Structure 1
Amino acid sequence: MNAWIAIGATVLGCYAVKLAGLLVPAGVLERPVVRRLAALLPVALLAALTAQQTFADGHTLVLDARAAGLGAAALALVLRAPFLVVVGAAVLLTAGVRALAG
């Protein structure tokens, strides 16, 4: 029964967040600060998700092959490589480090 309570609470929470977004006055959304924050928020969330998935294993911080892959992707981005090359470099280096590690 606890799972259904959690599901119901999540549904209500999601609906409340959607409703709150619809109730924001248009004048607030036109402010330059709000526009800038709205543009930067997805980047910040993606960076946080990437860091969490790369350097966390449960409740501990780890430094493994995923970090090497992230480094390869970052280098490819700095060199302005196309997206598929960035992903390919990350995958290949991660796989290579895992293969060498055992």
Structure 2
Amino acid sequence: MTLWSILVLASLACLLLKIIGYLIPEDLVKSGPVRRTADLLPAALLAGLIGTGIAVENQHLAIGPPFAGVATAAVLFWLRVPFLPAVVAAAAVTAVLRLWTQA
């Protein structure tokens, strides 16, 4: 398969999913389990992207400064630290570890 054929097939699949979304009854979409899944799915996908982005390098597990920064933010959020101080602390941990590993 060429790149263009994959692109066309992926586009058609997206169009088909969009059409199916319009055909699903509204009562089914607004039901409890579907609504909860739809609310949690973006967060789960984002967590997966972040996880692979910070812990995988050349298809190998590579735990380094970015992972430490995200872990710092996770712990601070668990301790209910406000958003901005947690992000600043995570960035500081990542920066210090990057400087330390390069030296």
Report the TM-score, using the length of structure 1 for normalisation. Answer: 0.85
In 1, distance between residues paired with 2:89 and 2:21?
39
Identity %: 35
The CA deviation string for residues 57-85 of structure 1, in whole angstroms up to 9 with x for no partner, is 13111111111101111122123233332
Q: For structure 2, which runs of at least 5 residues remain unmatched after alignment?
A: none
Most deviating of 63-72 and 78-87: 78-87
Which runs of 4 or more aligned residues in structure 1 lie more than 4 Å from their structure 2 counterparts after TM superposition? none
- 1:27-38 alignment runs, 5 A limit: 27-38=27-38
Residue aligning to 2:24:
24
Indicate the RMSD between aligned Cα atoms, in angstroms: 1.8
- 1:95 match: 95
1:24 maps to a residue whose letter is I
Mark the runs of 5 or more structure 1 residues left unpaired by the alignment.
none
